[in-house]
């Protein structure tokens, strides 16, 4: 898939962008404050109408990593079949990003899952609650500093007897 035209239009609008390529994946790396604008431009001007996935990576133990978290939007243009990956990096304590829910309604649960697993807050999300884990859960388990093995979070939860239920 030829990305040249997309890249050219993006650079016209936003100046020179950091990009990287691996296999057929083209990644565009932007600052967190650019995300909302770039996503809107990609959707409305360049026809990336399909949000494939939003995910995050915790680079805590990653070799030569500069930043703590990476957030990734995988986009697809359903008309041309072109795929693009938008990526940004976040560092504590400011883990906020703009929500993409106003552009793609499919972003709703994906963002909730990221909040659930990484504690990344999406501003402007209509209903940012935990998705998979219970509300009483206090940790963000997909972070690399959360242990893989252990007794879990059982001690944090209240025990409800049959009489109370």
Half-sphere exposure of 110 (CA within 13 A, CB side): 17
Pick 53 or 67: Cβ nearer other proteins: 53
Contacts of 33 (CB under 8 A, 6+ apart): none
Helices and strands of the chain, counted as H and E runs:
3, 7
Q: Which of 4, 61, 155, 163 binds other proteins (CB under 8 A)?
A: 61
State how far the alpha carbon of 75 is from the alpha carbons of 12, 84, 129, in Å: 20, 5, 24
Q: Is 10 in the site for other proteins (CB under 8 A)?
A: no
Q: Is 69 in the site for other proteins (CB under 8 A)?
A: no
CB 43 within 8 A of CB 32: no
Q: Is 153 in the site for other proteins (CB under 8 A)?
A: no
Pick 23 or 162: Cβ nearer other proteins: 23
Q: Is 158 in the site for other proteins (CB under 8 A)?
A: no
Interatomic CA distance for residues 121 and 71, integer angstroms: 12
Q: Is 131 in the site for other proteins (CB under 8 A)?
A: yes
Pick 12 or 26: Cβ nearer other proteins: 26
- For other proteins, the binding residues (CB under 8 A) are 22-23, 25, 49-53, 55, 57-58, 61-63, 72, 74, 78, 81, 83, 85, 104-110, 113, 117, 130-134, 141-142, 146, 148
């Amino acid at each position: 898939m030829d990305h040249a035209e997309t890249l050219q239009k993006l650079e016209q609008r936003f100046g020179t962008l950091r990009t990287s390529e691996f296999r057929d994946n083209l990644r565009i790396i932007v600052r967190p404050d650019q995300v909302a604008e770039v996503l809107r431009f990609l959707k409305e001007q360049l026809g990336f109408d399909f949000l494939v996935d939003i995910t995050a990576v915790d680079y805590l133990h990653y070799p030569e990593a500069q930043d703590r978290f990476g957030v990734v939007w995988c986009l697809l243009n359903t008309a041309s079949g072109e795929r693009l990956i938008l990526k940004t990096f976040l560092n504590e304590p400011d883990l906020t990003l703009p929500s993409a829910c106003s552009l793609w309604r499919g972003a709703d649960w994906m963002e909730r899952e990221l909040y659930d697993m990484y504690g990344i807050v999406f501003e402007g999300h209509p209903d940012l609650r935990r998705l998979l884990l219970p509300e009483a859960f206090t940790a963000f388990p997909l972070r690399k500093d959360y242990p893989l093995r252990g007794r879990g979070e059982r001690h944090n939860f209240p025990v409800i007897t049959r009489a109370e239920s």
